[in-house]
Every structure is written in C-alpha cells, then in structure tokens.
Amino acid sequence: MAPRSLVAGNWKMNGVKSSVSELEALIQMVNDGDKADCDVLICPPATLVDRFVGVADGSLVNIGAQDCHTNTSGAHTGDIAANMVADLGAGYIIVGHSERRADHGETSDLVNNKAEAVLTENLTAIICVGETEAERKAGDTLKVVVADQLANSVPESATPENTIIAYEPVWAIGTGLTPTVDDVAEVHTAIRAALVERFGDGVGNGFAILYGGSVKPTNAKELMAADNVNGALVGGASLKATDFNGIIDAYR
C-alpha cells in the first residue's frame, strides 16, 4: 500500500498569539476549497500548540510539536515531554531536525531515544535526516543521510503508522537553494531501499518520506512528483496560509 502523503509546516521559532489568524485562514482554505489528496500538519512553537489544537479541532489540519525530551518528567528546565504534547491533543512531534542537531549537538542516538519517547505516547514521529554542504561536496550524502543518520535515528519500534522520515539537505534549508529533482529522487530512493532492507518489503515501502528544503508553491508540484517523495516538510513558506496552501496545491 502506497504511503499517505503529508504536507507539514514547521514554524520553528516563529509565531505569537495573533498568528492564529494564519492558521484560521489555512483551515478555511483546506476545508472549504478543493480537497487535497494529502494530510496537512502545522507544528508551531510549544507556546502555541495548545491554542492551535483548539482552533484546528474538527478541521482537516493536524497540529504537532517541534521537539521533545526523552524522559516523561524530571529536572529538565525548558524541555517538554512527549506525554505533555499528547496531553494537549497534538498528534505529531518532529525530532532530529538539523537545527537541533547543529544548535544543540543532538546525536542520532539521542534522536532515536526521542523518537522512542514519541512512539511510546502513541504519537507520530517525524524523524529528520540531511547532509551539510561540505558533506555533499565531499560526496558523503548517502553515507551521512542513510548509513549514519537514518540507520541510527530510527528506532526498532518504528512502523509506517507511527513514523515518517523527512529528508532535508541542510544547505537547502531557508537558502533558496534546491537540489534537482533527480538529486532528491536519488536520496529518497536510497532511503526507501534502506528501510526495505531493514524492515522488509511490505513495511519498508509503507513509510512516508518527506522532502524539505526551500519548498515553495513554484517548485512544489515538481518536487512532490519525484520518485519516493511522499510530501513536504516546509519551513518559512508555511508561515503564511496562502503560501502553504500553494504547496498543498501540488496534491489537488
């Protein structure tokens, strides 16, 4: 069975209470317009998850969080646990984003443990992998993305029902630079092959693999049509409802 496609918006450290107007506008576009053949997700900063869950209740827009701790509670000032996200009614948590790996020194082993915490709460983990520009220029893309990050970040308990993989080349995030469609297809196909080898044909082919990195309305349709691309993880273009809906249009 082919994976269900997902267009997800990662708001990162953007958004205040008044930003709910963009969510409301997106909900109207998604609910009242031509229905898209994909799921839709917004992951706002932690301060807005509760409010966004309430606004999106009953709509076609899902709400998630951007990170979680490996533990369910404890002396971890500033962190949030997966059970706290679940308690708010959100359904997804992003783990292992390159900005977390770079800014906070997160290793693939730590990402694995975070993903395990997400799955324990019956939420969906979006596990991010991606190479830097230097790694790409050195010809190490597949080594870094597949042999290291994918192999070590995805827990044994992962299934297509509870885990999504997101490939985001670090050098393309927010830069306006985008790999060619062939480049994206090559990496996604390698990720697919690794998932099939590890989990078996039936399971490995069921995982959704998202592409992220300067996705916008003008290139979304072409990128979403690439082999083994099952949706997008969108950064800056998800902050405005009209831009994000333009990306969702790739599935209409």
Does residue 21 fall inside a structural domain?
A: no
In this structure, the chain runs to a length of 252
Question: In terms of residue numbers, what domain contains 81?
Answer: 6-13+42-236
Tell me the average pLDDT across 88-116.
98
Does residue 176 fall inside a structural domain?
A: yes
Tell me the average pLDDT across 21-41.
97
Quick one: CA dihedral 27, 66, 190, 135, positive or negative? positive
Tell me the average pLDDT across 62-83.
98
% of the chain exceeding 90 in pLDDT: 96
User: Distances in Å between the alpha carbon of 198 and those of 97, 143, 157, 206?
Assistant: 22, 16, 12, 13
Domain containing residue 224: CATH number: 3.20.20.70
State how far the Cα of 112 lies from the Cα of 116, in Å rounded to an integer.
6
Does residue 1 fall inside a structural domain?
A: no
Asked if the model's pLDDT at residue 93 lies above 90, the reply is: yes
Residue 97 among the catalytic residues: yes
Does residue 245 fall inside a structural domain?
A: no
243 vs 175 pLDDT, higher one: 243
Tell me the average pLDDT across 38-60.
98
User: Distances in Å between the alpha carbon of 40 and those of 4, 36, 212?
Assistant: 11, 9, 15
Asked if the model's pLDDT at residue 174 lies above 90, the reply is: no
Does residue 32 fall inside a structural domain?
A: no
Asked if the model's pLDDT at residue 249 lies above 80, the reply is: yes
State how far the Cα of 75 lies from the Cα of 159, in Å rounded to an integer.
31
Does residue 84 fall inside a structural domain?
A: yes
| Confidence at residue 177, expressed as pLDDT on a 0 to 100 scale | 86
Residue 116 among the catalytic residues: no
Catalytic residue among 22, 97, 131, 135: 97
Does residue 121 fall inside a structural domain?
A: yes
Catalytic residue among 99, 116, 131, 168: 168
What's the structural domain count of the chain?
Answer: 1
Tell me the average pLDDT across 69-73.
98
Does residue 242 fall inside a structural domain?
A: no
Supply the mean pLDDT for the chain.
97
